[in-house]
Amino acid sequence: MKVLITGISGFVGSHMAEYLLQEHDVVGTIRQRSRLDHIKHLKDLQLVDLVECELRDPFSVEALIASVKPDRIFHLAAQSFVPTSWNSPVDTIYNNAASQINIMEAVRRIKPDCKIQIACSSEEYGHVEAYEVPIKETNPLRPLSPYAVSKVTQEFLAYQYYKSYGLHTVITRTFNHTGPRRGENFVTSNFSKQIADIEKGKQPPVLYVGNLQAKRDFTDVRDVVRAYWLALEKGVPGETYNIASGSCITIEELLQKLLALSKAKIEIKVDPARLRPSDVEILLGDYRKFHETTGWKPEIPLDRTLSDLLNYWRSF
Ligand code: GDD
């Protein structure tokens, strides 16, 4: 099968490529300024085909779809860091919505039988009441960041193209996910990198943090890419599915787990710049709908994920 991954040079994109390339022809989009560190080994071995494409440009996307004619698209490219969305709200919403519209427009005209997975987010739930956890897909969406609004927009666009044109879109609302290669801005990677840098003497033994009270539901990225594949193989078009672990921890507990993996003596300091105008208090997902449809369940425990991630940062 011909599979197109948008954002293949990113964290999830690189894992998706590794998961698929044993059995499928993998093509991935990159941008002029994309860093290729995560997929250089795949490119060097000519295991994946990289195509430069500006997803915000309809002509560039049309040319891409016309030349690749994909059977499956995993649409992973996005502005995905919540704090950036407060500094660049217009860019976040425009980038995330326009890229997807261009893809769906090109697909409906050129390759209408292509199945498209849309990577949406648990951030869309935003403010959640205590009695609403674990969160089901039917929960109201009360987004608390421009990023979350961009993902709600993506989700409704996918639904609308399914209803209007019969496009086979499947929406995954993925809760927090991490693992080796996670970008250094995100909390798990940021704390791990700081610990690794402290161990190497590159940073004084002070670890900077933001809000430690938030609760998040973490899944390993390797379980997540398996879920994305199943979403297109077994998921119902136009439907939305939670991808989650079904348990959550506070960021404080997460920090303690990472600190327990190191012998370094480390002081913790709150950096006010890391606090957000509004932070989602709790995300704890109910993934039963996806499990019942596809049989998927998470397999990699959080402790292994965190240890793999810390070792990843130690390797630099
Ligand atoms: N990034 C970061 N850095 N977050 C911190 C820090 C810090 O130093 N200290 C505490 N936090 C808290 C944040 O305030 C937030 O409550 C939580 O840790 C997780 O932050 P992130 O890792 O930045 O992720 P996120 O929850 O905002 O968003 C991630 O998950 C979404 C799914 O729910 C991203 O991966 C999104 O792209 C994804 O959609």
What's the rounded Cα separation, in Å, for the pair 299 and 235?
20
Q: Is the peptide bond before 70 cis (omega within 30 degrees of 0)?
A: no
Task: Give yes or no for a contact between 293 and 232, defined as CB atoms under 8 angstroms apart.
Answer: no
Integer distance in angstroms from the first to the last C-alpha of the chain? 36
Query: Does residue 251's CB lie within 6 angstroms of at least one atom of ligand 1?
Result: yes
Cα–Cα distance list, 40 to 14, 26, 36, 235, 310 (Å): 10, 14, 6, 32, 21
Query: Does residue 227's CB lie within 6 angstroms of at least one atom of ligand 1?
Result: no
Residue nearest ligand 1's atom 20 by CA = 187
Specify the pairing of strand 215-216 against strand 249-250.
Answer: antiparallel
- Mapped onto helix, strand or coil, the DSSP state of residue 115 is strand
What's the rounded Cα separation, in Å, for the pair 117 and 90?
24
Cα dihedral 104/110/112/114 (nearest 10): -80
- Mapped onto helix, strand or coil, the DSSP state of residue 261 is coil
Residue nearest ligand 1's atom 39 by CA = 121
Whole-number Å distance, alpha carbon 270 to ligand 1 midpoint, is 15
What's the rounded Cα separation, in Å, for the pair 207 and 204?
8
Residue nearest ligand 1's atom 9 by CA = 210
Task: Give yes or no for a contact between 191 and 209, defined as CB atoms under 8 angstroms apart.
Answer: yes
State whether ipTM is beyond 0.90. yes
Query: Does residue 252's CB lie within 6 angstroms of at least one atom of ligand 1?
Result: no
User: What is the residue-level pLDDT of the chain in tens, covering all 316 positions?
Assistant: 999 999 999 999 999 999 999 899 999 999 988 889 999 888 888 899 999 999 999 999 999 999 999 999 999 999 999 999 999 999 999 999 999 999 999 999 999 999 999 999 999 999 999 999 999 999 999 999 999 999 999 999 999 999 999 999 999 999 999 999 999 999 999 999 999 999 999 999 999 999 999 999 999 999 999 999 999 999 999 999 999 999 999 999 999 999 999 999 999 999 999 999 999 999 999 999 999 999 999 999 999 999 999 999 999 9
